[in-house]
Amino acid sequence: MQPFGTAALIVAALAAPLAGVQAVPGHVVPGKAPALSESALGSQRVLNALVSQHGEGQRLRIERGLKQVRAFWRKEDGDGQAFEAFARAQFAGDAKALDALFGRLEFVLESYFGHALEIGRDFRWHTELDLGPMLPVDELLSGYDPGAHFTEDAFASKLAFVVLLNFPLSDLEQRLKEGEGWTRRQWAEARLVDLFSKRIPAEVNQAFAEASGRAERYIASYNIWMHHLVDAKGQRLFEPKKRLLSHWNLRDELKSRYAQGPAGLGHQRSIQKVMERIVTQTIPAAVIDNPLVDWNPFTNEVKAATVQDSDRPVPAGFQPSGAPEPDTRYQVLRDCFLAARQADPYSPGAPTHMARSFNEGRQLPEARVQQMLETVCGSPLVKQVAQVIERRLGRKLEPFDIWYNGFRPGAGLDEAKLDALLRAKYPTAAAYKADMPGLLKGLGFSPERAAWLASRIEVDPARGSGHAMGAQRRADNAHLRTRVGRDGMDYKGFNIAVHEMGHNVEQTFSLVNVDHWLLNGVPNTAFTEALAFVFQAQDLKLLGQPLPDAKALAEKTLNDFWGTYEIAGVGLVDTAVWHWMYDHPDATAAQLKEAVLGISRSVWNRYYAPVLGQKDCVLLGIYSHMIHSFLYLPDYSIGHMIAFQIEHEVEKTGKLGETFERMATQGRLTPDLWMQRATGKPVGPEALLEATAKALTSLRY
Q: State phi, psi for 244 to the nearest 5 degrees.
A: -115, 135
pLDDT number for residue 196: 93
**Cα(47)–Cα(63) distance, integer angstroms:** 7
Burial letters 440-471, b for 16+ CB under 10 A, else e: bbebbbeeebbbebbebbbbbbbbbbbbbbbb
Closest residue by Cα to residue 571 from 413, 365, 318, 366: 366
What is the percentage of the chain residues whose pLDDT exceeds 90? 72
Are the C-beta atoms of residues 286 and 320 closer than 8 Å to each other? yes
CB atoms within 10 A of CB 654: 9
- Out of 33-47, 334-348, 554-568, 659-673, least confident range: 33-47
Domain ranges of the chain: 31-197, 222-330, 364-408+547-698, 415-524
Q: What is the mean pLDDT of residues 658-682?
A: 94
- Which residue type is seen at 262? P
Closest residue by Cα to residue 576 from 373, 393, 429: 373
Are the C-beta atoms of residues 281 and 595 closer than 8 Å to each other? no
Segment holding 469, helix H or strand E: strand 466-469
For the chain, give the mean pLDDT. 90
Strands 478-482 and 457-461: parallel
pLDDT number for residue 23: 29
Closest residue by Cα to residue 17 from 155, 141, 144: 155
Instruction: Cite the DSSP H helix spans in 167-307.
Output: 172-178, 184-194, 202-220, 248-256, 265-280
Q: What is the pLDDT of residues 70-100, one digit of tens each?
A: 989 988 999 999 999 999 999 999 999 999 9
pLDDT number for residue 13: 36
**Alpha carbon 425 to chain centroid, angstroms:** 29
**Cα(277)–Cα(283) distance, integer angstroms:** 5
Q: Phi-psi bin for 513: left (phi > 0), alpha (psi -120 to 50), beta?
A: alpha
Is pLDDT of 1 > 80? no
- Which residue type is seen at 126? H
| Contacting residues for 216 by C-beta, under 8 A, at least 6 apart | 5, 127, 128, 142, 464, 628
pLDDT number for residue 683: 94
pLDDT number for residue 20: 27
- Global confidence as pTM: 0.78
pLDDT number for residue 36: 62
pLDDT number for residue 14: 34
**Cα(671)–Cα(528) distance, integer angstroms:** 12
pLDDT number for residue 231: 85
Is pLDDT of 26 > 60? no
Residue 346's SS3 state is helix
| Contacting residues for 544 by C-beta, under 8 A, at least 6 apart | none
Q: What is the pLDDT of residues 636-652, one digit of tens each?
A: 888 889 888 888 888 88
Dihedral (CA of 153, 157, 161, 167) sign: negative
pLDDT number for residue 492: 86
- Out of 112-121, 181-190, 445-454, 483-492, least confident range: 483-492
pLDDT number for residue 40: 67
Q: Phi-psi bin for 684: left (phi > 0), alpha (psi -120 to 50), beta?
A: left
pLDDT number for residue 410: 60
pLDDT number for residue 16: 36
Q: What is the pLDDT of residues 3-15, one digit of tens each?
A: 433 333 333 433 3
- Which residue type is seen at 183? T
Dihedral (CA of 184, 186, 187, 192) sign: positive
Q: What is the pLDDT of residues 98-135, one digit of tens each?
A: 999 999 999 999 999 999 999 999 999 999 999 999 99
Closest residue by Cα to residue 594 from 580, 610, 604, 606: 580
Q: What is the mean pLDDT of residues 132-141?
A: 92
Q: What is the mean pLDDT of residues 675-685?
A: 93
Residue 293's SS3 state is strand
Q: What is the pLDDT of residues 297-351, one digit of tens each?
A: 999 999 999 988 887 888 888 889 999 999 999 999 999 999 999 989 888 778 8
pLDDT number for residue 646: 87
Q: What is the pLDDT of residues 498-533, one digit of tens each?
A: 999 999 999 999 999 999 999 999 998 878 888 998
pLDDT number for residue 24: 29
Cis peptide before 247 (omega within 30 of 0): yes
